[in-house]
Amino acid sequence: MPLGRAWSVALNGVDGHVVEVEADVGGGLPAVHLVGLPDAALHESRDRVRAAVVNSGREWPNERIVLALSPATMRKTGSAFDLALACAVLAAGPGVDQPELDGTVLLGELALDGRLRPVRGILPCLLAARAARMRRVVVPRAALAEAALVDGLEVHGAGSLDEVLRWLAGGLTLPRPGPALPGDEPEPADLADVVGQADARRALELAAAGGHHLMLVGPPGTGKTMLAQRMIGLLPRLTADEALALAAVRSVAGRLPADPLGTLAPLVAPHHSTSMAALIGGGSGIARPGAVSLAHRGILFLDEAPEFGRHLLDALRTPLEDGQVRLARADGTVVYPARFQLVLAANPCPCAPAHDRDCVCPSLTRRRYLGRLSGPLMDRVDLVARMYPITAFAVTGEDTEDTATVRARVAAARAAAAQRWAEHGWRTNGEVPGPALRSRFALAPSAVRPLELGLRSGELTARGADRALRLAWTVADLAGMARPDRAAVESALYYRDRRAA
């Protein structure tokens, strides 16, 4: 048969589409034509595939070969089609039985000697193959651990083209992935390491329990970074679905860790010199995921937040709102998940002495410094915690609780909140919009009295009141109360943004 057919998957962001690879052999001078909107890397696969086939001891048809990737109008990128191209060409000749290829998705880049190399994005490819009801998938052996995350598919790992061909001929069995075992993840740093800072600890606990975005303000060396790094230990473990979504993003970014299905919430801390593309996602052609997507279901920690360019900080507003980023490029629009919790850390002023009283900045400079964090961004930050210089060398206080203790409280509070908001589709207090808190879940007038007073005296803005209300629910959840009382509202007010005051 002069026509061979194989299947592979084209990725558009984290969405895959099954692509049919057809090879028509014969009729003309020996040449290989690749059609179906391939990019440069894919164009080069003509030469890779040919060398790999010949070096695997197979015959390369000495004729005109037209390779078509369908759907033809979709742009295809990358080298993952190599294996499918090779098998399609061989299926056009006597090398491979066509029925064996039907319903089989082939993924992997070929080395010139026929070895099968791993490619990025195996996980979303498998999800697409499963959605398209393909029978089985062959992936590079190095990607087997990643492939184990997807069930409901017959996945095989191959080390070379030769192995795949012998397997197709029925003369070899290829290894299947082992069960996806949650590996031993390194336990995140413990909260007990942080000296003092009872206020900030409490803020961290509130942020973790309510899913509130948090800002830590304090002089250098007070443990802002330490605290932020310990927050991932307080967050609940990711569910299987969340871990899979995160793994898909990491797979596309080529940043999958050794244990692909880790359930520890991610912490991503870009430097303040980061580019827009690295933060939000970007790149030419099809955009790649950025820090906000790699922090999906985890924490995006911006240390020295005022040093970030204003356009970078403001670009975070849409993902904060939508829980996803939509990146439009010439070759199409991709949507990556980006539901992260924002943790900002900042010095109170540019000169940042150990003790704030030693500050030499003019008042205008001080005001401008934190003013770089725009109002719309700070509107989304429910909690602002002040940190104070450490005044005693060895604080052996009773307040140095360890992560496990706090995590238990956080988990209980989150469970309470999730149960309360379940019918409205919110999972944490931080997601609840202000109007809902004011109307449908309005508190007793006595409880909101402090907000009333603050608004009347002009100490509090309407948005600030909403934030305090939201936080008050978390305070109540942590205390095990059914609804916030006056004390809860007052303690929530303690963490408001008091830059203006």
Partner 1 sequence: MAAKDDLGRRGEDVAVRYLEDRGLVVLSRNWRCRDGELDVVCTDRDRLVVCEVKTRSGTRYGPPAEAVTPRKAARIRRLAQQWLAAHHVRWCSVRFDVVAVLAPPGEPVTVQHYEAAF
Report, in Å, the least distance between residue 28 CB and partner 1: 6
- Cβ closest to partner 1, residue 31 vs residue 404: 31
- List the one residue out of 138, 16, 6, 136 whose CA is nearest residue 67: 6
Report, in Å, the least distance between residue 64 CB and partner 1: 9
Beta strand 104-106 with 267-268 is unpaired
Report, in Å, the least distance between residue 140 CB and partner 1: 29
Q: Is 112 in the site for partner 1 (CB under 8 A)?
A: no
Among 2, 28, 254, 433, binds partner 1 (CB under 8 A): 28
Q: Is 30 in the site for partner 1 (CB under 8 A)?
A: yes
- Cβ closest to partner 1, residue 29 vs residue 258: 29
> Which region, judged by CB under 8 A, interacts with partner 1, from 29-37, 167-175, 371-379, 436-444?
29-37
Report, in Å, the least distance between residue 82 CB and partner 1: 20
- Cβ closest to partner 1, residue 31 vs residue 422: 31
Report, in Å, the least distance between residue 55 CB and partner 1: 14
Rounded to whole angstroms, the Cα distance separating 417 from 471 reads 12
Rounded to whole angstroms, the Cα distance separating 464 from 496 reads 7
> Which region, judged by CB under 8 A, interacts with partner 1, from 23-31, 121-129, 343-351, 465-473?
23-31
Site for partner 1 in 36-75 (CB under 8 A): 62
> Which region, judged by CB under 8 A, interacts with partner 1, from 25-33, 315-323, 379-387, 487-495?
25-33
What is the rounded radius of gyration, in angstroms, for the C-alpha atoms of the chain? Answer: 28
- Cβ closest to partner 1, residue 32 vs residue 145: 32
3-class secondary structure per residue, 353-365: CCCHHHCCCCHHH
3-class secondary structure per residue, 306-363: HHCCHHHHHHCHHHHHHCEEEEEECCEEEEEECCCEEEEEECCCCCCCCCHHHCCCCH
Site residue total, partner 1 (CB under 8 A)? 5
Report, in Å, the least distance between residue 31 CB and partner 1: 7
Tell me the three state secondary structure of residue 250: helix
The secondary element (H helix, E strand) that includes residue 140 is strand 136-140
Rounded to whole angstroms, the Cα distance separating 252 from 160 reads 23
Residue 405 burial (C-beta neighbours within 10 Å; 0-12, 13-18, 19+): exposed
> Interface residues with partner 1 (CB under 8 A)?
28-31, 62
